[in-house]
Amino acid sequence: MKKIITVIGSYNHDMVLQTTRFPNPGETITAKKLEMFSGGKGANQAVAAARLGGDVYFITKVGNDAFGNNASQNFSVDNIRTDYILQDMEVSSGTAVILVNQEGQNCIVVNPGANNMLLPSDIEDCQKAIKEASYILMQLEIPYETVKYAIETAYHMNKKIVLNPAPTVPLDDNLYSKLFLITPNQTEAEMLTGIACVDQISVAKAADVLLQKGVKNVIITLGEKGAYFKNKEEEFLIPIREVDVKDTTGAGDIFNGALLVALAEEKNWKQAVAFANSASSIGVSRMGAQSSAPYRDEILV
Ligand code: RIB
């Protein structure tokens, strides 16, 4: 029987504008193209994990609009367990406006909408999805109080909790020791530790700070340089395959979703990071976040 992965997090409707470059303050520029995608860090991670073969529950809250009304149906196409796709009839779904320049880099502004209404009481109502899971995967696009409540709940049920601290907020010191794994990118690692992650030595130092705070395992994602892993026993960096980058949006989400699938299949750390690198390198070679998440037969490792 597959180990269940429960993803708790955001759902957004992404409006993606392709531009040659980002505008300067006060400047108006013309986009080359506008596309709409299903997004949100939580949803992207859930879809990535499910497409790669994970058995996934997704706990989220959508709003009272076409995106929200179709969310359960859309997620079930990817075989996600949709029992806990909650809906708030008073607000609209989360929305993200994303600019992607011709180098594939992005700028994102999120209006949280219904994501802000995913409350600790909802987590209480979704306990079955936590109880049945082996791994819990969270990000920080829902209220911080809800994330804290979910971490406490899952910790008391002895679950392995993975936090992708995006977008980063300062974390309570007592949360770190409850985390099986934390997966910041370079910028987020710097915000959490105060150490600028500019080379492998500083990345290792940042990982040490997180380990000292009590996290069991640390992965710092380094964009086109790959991903760095450290725990008390081992340390390594796995470079990423070079690809023609179209859109980096959601690369970290695909990495996290894929990583959890590999861990749930009991791959070792090196195998799991290589699997996640492979998935995210495919993701950046396509447009969109969720839309670019690969299927299992596309993974090269
Ligand atoms: O990580 C990418 C995601 O960030 C986008 O899908 C957008 O919705 C924002 O949440």
Q: Is 60 in the pocket of ligand 1 (CB under 6 A)?
A: no
Q: For the chain, how far is it from start to end, CA to CA, in angstroms?
A: 23
User: How remote is the CA of residue 270 from the centroid of ligand 1, in Å?
Assistant: 27
pLDDT attached to residue 300: 80
DSSP assigned state of 81: B
266 Cα to the center of ligand 1, angstroms:
28
Atom of ligand 1 at shortest range from CA of 39: 6
Nearest CA to ligand 1 atom 7: 40
Among protein residues, the one with the nearest Cα to ligand 1's atom 9 is 40
Cα 211 to Cα 38, 187, 200, 231, 251, distances in angstroms: 34, 17, 16, 7, 24
Domain 4-21+33-294 has CATH 3.40.1190.20: yes
C-alpha 238 – ligand 1 centre gap (Å): 24
Q: 232 CA distance to ligand 1 centroid (A)?
A: 32
Decide: 55 and 265 in contact? Cβ < 8 Å.
Answer: no
At residue 10, the pLDDT reads 98
Residue 158 pLDDT? 98
**Ligand 1 atom nearest to 14, measured from its CA:** 8
pLDDT at residue 301 in the model:
81
By alpha-carbon position, which residue is closest to atom 8 of ligand 1?
40
Q: Residue 220 is inside which H or E element, if any?
A: strand 217-221
**For each of the chain's 301 residues, which pLDDT tens digit applies?**
899 999 999 999 999 999 999 999 999 999 999 999 999 999 999 999 999 999 999 999 999 999 999 999 999 999 999 999 999 999 999 999 999 999 989 999 999 999 999 999 999 999 999 999 999 999 999 999 999 999 999 999 999 999 999 999 999 999 999 999 999 999 999 999 999 999 999 999 999 999 999 999 999 999 999 999 999 999 999 999 989 999 999 999 999 999 999 999 999 999 999 999 999 999 999 988 899 999 999 998 8
Minimum-distance ligand 1 atom for the alpha carbon of 253: 1
* Catalytic hit among 78, 88, 247, 253: 253
Strand order in the sheet with 135-138: 85-87, 55-62, 4-8, 135-138, 160-163, 181-182, 217-221, 227-230, 235-238
CA of 283 to the centre of ligand 1 (A): 13
Domain extents in the chain: 4-21+33-294
Testing ligand 1's pocket by substitution, the residue of 13, 35, 108 carrying the most ligand atoms inside 8 A of its CB is: 108
Catalytic (active site) residue 208? no
Q: Whose CA is nearest to atom 6 of ligand 1?
A: 39
